[in-house]
Structure 1
Amino acid sequence: MHAEAPATLIAGSHGGIGQALLQTQLQRGPVISISRQPQPAQLTPPAGHVWQHIQADLSDPASVAAVQTQLAEQPIARVFACSGILHDAQHQPEKSLSQLHSEWLLTSMRSNVLSHVHLAQALSKQVSKRSPVHWLSLSAKVGSIEDNGLGGWYSYRMSKAALNMWIKNLSIEWQRKSPDSIVAAVHPGTTDTELSKPFQSRLAQDQLYSAELTAQRLSRVMDELSPAQHGKLLFWDGSILPW
C-alpha cells in the first residue's frame, strides 16, 4: 500500500469498537487495519479509498519486525490502538485477591499493554519532526488509580494502569523527536460489544453505547486532539480524566 495521503492505522480492528472505527475511517481516506484475523470480506472501501489489512498478533514480540516491514515507507498520520481483553470463557474479572492468578494477569498484560507497545515499536522509526503522529490507545477509566474507589477487577485495572503509564512515557519520548505528535489514552465508555456483554444487565440504558456511536466519538476526539491532551487519559468527550 502506498497511498498519497497519510493513512489511519487501526489495530485490533476485529473487535467491536475496532470494526466500527474501521467502517467510519474507510469513508475518510486510506486505512491500514491490523488484527489476528484475516481481512473481513464484507467490508469494501469507497471508490478511490485504499485499504490494507495486516494479519498479525501484536501481543507477540515477533510481530514488531513483521509489521514494521509492511508499514515501511507508508506515512501514518493517525493511530487507533484498540487491542485489549477483559475476560474469556474461563476467566471473569476478579472480585477478590484469592481469584487473582498470575497466568491470567500475564495474559491481560500481553493483550492490554504489550500489543500497544509492539505497535509503537513497529511504527517508531517513522515518527519524526516531518512525520508527526496522533495516537489514541483505548484504555479504561477503571485503570485510573485516583478514581478507583471500588477495588476488584485486579488484572484489568492493573493492566490498564500499566498502559496509562506507558502512554505517559511514550508521549515524553515522541515529543522530543516529533514535537507535533500527540499521544493519549482514551476511555471509550461502556460499549455494546462482546467485551461488555456479561456486565450490561447492571447498566442503565443510557450508560451503554452502540459501537457506531463510540466510533464517532473517538473519531471526533482524534480530529480535535490538542497539545493540552498530550500524555493524558481522556474521556470519550475529550475531557481529561485523573491518572
Structure 2
Amino acid sequence: MDPSDRKTSAVVIGASGGIGGAVADALEAGGAFGVVHRFARSTPGEAHIDLEDEGSIAAAVARVAQGPVPTLVFVATGVLHHGQEPERSYKAMTAEHLLRDYRVNTVGPALIARHFVPLMPRDRRAVFAALSARVGSIGDNRLGGWHSYRASKAALNMILTNLAIELGRSHPQAIVAGLHPGTVDTGLSAPFQRGVRPEKLFTPAASAARLLKVLDGLTPADTGGVFAWDGMRIPA
C-alpha cells in the first residue's frame, strides 16, 4: 500500500473468520493504514455487523465515517454449508437454500458497497474487494453442481462488474475486484479438503498475504475483474 495511506483507514468485513482475521492482522502489521476497522457478525458492540441486517451496516459506516477516510474495503464474508450442504444435483435445489446463499454471498456485499463506497475518496486510489470463488465463473464451469453457491457467487461477480463501471465515472482511480483465495484451511472449506494436495491447502495467513499482494498489483485498468490468489484473472 502507498505510504500516503497511513492517514487513511482500511475496513475488513468478516474479520472474525479465518481469512478476514488474517487480512486484518496483515494490514495492521504492515502499518500502511492509520486505522484498520474490524467488523464481524459474531463481534458485539460497535464492531458488530450482520450482512442480513442493513441497519447494522449503516451503524458500521457511521463509525468509520468518524475517522480517517477508508481507501480499502475488504469483504471477507461468505456461506457455503452451515446446515445446508452444496447441492450435487438440481433435484436437491430448494428456494430456502438458494435465497440464503444469495442473501449472504450477493446481497450482503452489495449493501456493503452501497453504504461504504460513498466514504471512499474520488481523488486517489481506493479499493473495494470481496471474496468470490472460481466456481462462480460461468465460463470456467465444467462440473456443474453446487447450484446455490455457484449462482450466488456469479451474481456477486456481476455486482462487482456493475460497481466497477459506475465508479469508473465518479472514482477514476478506484479498483473493484473479486478475489478467489484458493482452498484455505478454514471452517468454510473444512468438509471439502479431502483430496487437496498439501501445497494447495493454504493457511489463512498465507492466503491473506497472497490476496493483498494481488490487490497491490492491480490498476484501474483491472477494475471489475475476479482474480485468483496467484494473480491470474478468472473468466466471467
TM-score, structure 2 normalization:
0.91
Q: Which residue is equivalent to 1:219?
A: 212
3-state SS of paired residue (2:30): coil
Deviations, residues 144-176 of structure 1 (Å, cap 9, x unaligned): 000000000000000000000000000011111
Summarize the Cα distance change of 1:151–1:54 in structure 2 as closer, same or farther, 3 Å threshold: same
Offset at 1:130? 2.6
Separation in structure 1 between the aligned mates of residue 46 and residue 206 of structure 2, nearest angstrom: 24
Q: Does 1:33 align with 2:33?
A: no
Offset at 1:58? 2.0
Offset at 1:63? 2.7
Offset at 1:67? 2.2
Q: Which residue is equivalent to 2:147?
A: 154
Kept in 2, the 8 Å contact 1:86–1:156? The answer is yes
Kept in 2, the 8 Å contact 1:16–1:193? The answer is yes
- Among candidates 68, 73, 76, match of residue 70 of structure 2: 76
Amino acid at match of 1:100: M
Offset at 1:28? 2.4
Higher helix share: 2
Consecutive unaligned residues of structure 1, counting only runs of 5 or more, are 40-51
Q: Which residue is equivalent to 1:138?
A: 131
Deviations, residues 36-90 of structure 1 (Å, cap 9, x unaligned): 1227xxxxxxxxxxxx9621102222234222222224300112111100001x2
- Among candidates 160, 163, 179, match of residue 167 of structure 1: 160
3-state SS of paired residue (1:106): helix
Separation in structure 1 between the aligned mates of residue 58 and residue 226 of structure 2, nearest angstrom: 29
- Among candidates 1, 17, 20, match of residue 19 of structure 2: 17
Q: Does 1:209 align with 2:209?
A: no
Query: Which piece of structure 1 moves more, 121-130 or 93-102?
Result: 121-130
3-state SS of paired residue (2:38): strand
Moved over 6 A (4+): none
- Among candidates 8, 21, 27, match of residue 10 of structure 2: 8
Offset at 1:136? 1.3
Alignment of 1:106-121 (within 5 A): 106-121=99-114
Amino acid at match of 2:36: V
Q: Does 1:85 align with 2:90?
A: no
User: Percent identical across equivalent pairs?
Assistant: 38
Amino acid at match of 2:43: P
Kept in 2, the 8 Å contact 1:10–1:21? The answer is yes
Separation in structure 1 between the aligned mates of residue 88 and residue 162 of structure 2, nearest angstrom: 30
Q: Does 1:57 align with 2:62?
A: no
Separation in structure 2 between the aligned mates of residue 12 and residue 175 of structure 1, nearest angstrom: 26
Separation in structure 1 between the aligned mates of residue 181 and residue 104 of structure 2, nearest angstrom: 17
Separation in structure 2 between the aligned mates of residue 106 and residue 151 of structure 1, nearest angstrom: 19
Kept in 1, the 8 Å contact 2:71–2:120? The answer is no
Alignment coverage as a number of residue pairs: 228
Offset at 1:6? 0.6
Amino acid at match of 2:189: S
Q: Does 1:99 align with 2:92?
A: yes
Offset at 1:134? 0.8
TM-score, structure 1 normalization:
0.88
Separation in structure 2 between the aligned mates of residue 92 and residue 227 of structure 1, nearest angstrom: 37
Separation in structure 1 between the aligned mates of residue 101 and residue 56 of structure 2, nearest angstrom: 18
Q: Which residue is equivalent to 1:45?
A: none
Separation in structure 2 between the aligned mates of residue 216 and residue 65 of structure 1, nearest angstrom: 29
Offset at 1:4? 6.6
Offset at 1:118? 1.4
